[in-house]
Structure 1
């Protein structure tokens, strides 16, 4: 993306092929929106048919179940973005303008607003793997089939394919079509991650500026209170729009990687090269819920630090109006301010630990079931 773009423009540029943020004047954008929506809904239909037919072994069944969960995860988020196009564009435009206003100040140049920490590296790695995994899956799948004399196709997604794969060309067409389906789900997920990560990074950059101003200018800086109000409003609007679909994601994240982990254990036993591709999918599904949880954790950590910075202010030495502002800020920052769903569930590391615990319990249950 060109350097002179704003962070939100860079995010839009990165996800331009997903068709999620539709530019009505751009035919290419409309084409991608329709194409990916069709492909995603085929994943839903084909995984439902495969589950209903139930002709698979346990290892295939659990994989199909995982694909069905990936479909639910993506379709809930995609429907949310399509239904709230204008509100989302408006929210991100506000975020962009506010972030530029707050962070462009020359005095803030010597504080690091967007540190390249471990979370940043992890999220950019996940985004890249999501986009480049499908061609790798296709190559490994064809290689595995060649080594096992094409007994049973190693499809990237174990789904129902509407034609028989007995001859080479119908088989190859199925492999390519299936790979394009994984490309759609990967691209969608990369896009949701990009939007969330951009919002988190910009919001945290603004909070860092607030802390810096509080610590250098003291509580008399009027802008601190005005900016804080705007940050809370942006976060509230983001939660209202996006936290519902993330709640769905957290609920189904315990089932999502199961099929791939279980298939990996089976393929590894058989020394099948496809195990390398399956373990990458398993790790992606394990890492997926980490994204909203780590972003939520990063926001609440910055808010706690803002409270600590406000606490350093000598409120008792200030004029009554400033004292009132500072006490209000202190009171508001003691309340939980984070990514959450109706204050019922907060997305943070504790939430992620619960997901991992759930995955482990289900996996043990399947292994037990298989042994029986």
Structure 2
């Protein structure tokens, strides 16, 4: 006698979950109307400062590109239909839908299955016109059992609407670093969409240190059980800047993992940071483990930090799920400890801020980028506590 055991199809069991925290993804621009600011996902964003970016006017401008060529990486250009056919995550808001619709195609970087890159793939994107509007779509596809470190750095002045897709194959290992090192007059609206294969491991580090208004949405979903995701980020917000990070992790497969840890510092009048985290644990996602955390350090008066962690749980058969959020000034006990050992107050403040960020920076895994971030933090601190030479003289 033959006994047939029915194996549930997890992919078919995943249903669309409607939520005001994460609108249904769609490539159809009509599904993403122009926001009025009263929507939950737009209520923190100063729409008046977007300069018509959401109207969808065509663009004839481009960013300046430069990229190295590690062995095992191929670069190609795809039209929009071919890019969608690769299975990239669908746009989750109007900016990401516009990026796909208006970019005129996508640039694809491919890492072949089984290839372990000997050096990071480093891509530099820069703008030179703060009045120009640019739409861009970039896709990174990491083959099964491959390994790669990718650094994507943005500099210069522009109004940029972007879509970045990370397609990570089964058993692959990806370390992705995104740097927003824009000039002070830049507006950047972006979406980073991740699809994580079975037993794949993905670590992302996002650093936002410049720009007039930067709004990044990161979404992640799993293509099979066993996938692991770590998302780390840092941001330093100066007077008048608006820096917004929105996270959505969709645990749509069992036995998956995620950890989110973002940290920000604010200084100057009307410095505004927004961090919104959301983790959805679906009914099929048994045995998952997730935790999201956001910490904000307020250095001066006149700042505002909005931090909103969320959990949506549809099954109790999980290993663990939690979140935390803190916003405050310098730790008086830390400052007292350092000053009691003869360290001047300004230098003590500098050490506290460096310690606040160093746990994130050391996870980058690219020494050159780590040094660049430490230097950027030091430069920001000069606005509050002066240069190290001035402090110690």
Tell whether the structures are fold-level matches, with TM greater than 0.5: no
Structure ranking higher in helix proportion: 1
TM (norm. structure 1) is: 0.21
Greater RCO, CA 8 A, separation 6+: 1
Larger radius of gyration: 1
Structure ranking higher in strand proportion: 2
TM (norm. structure 2) is: 0.20
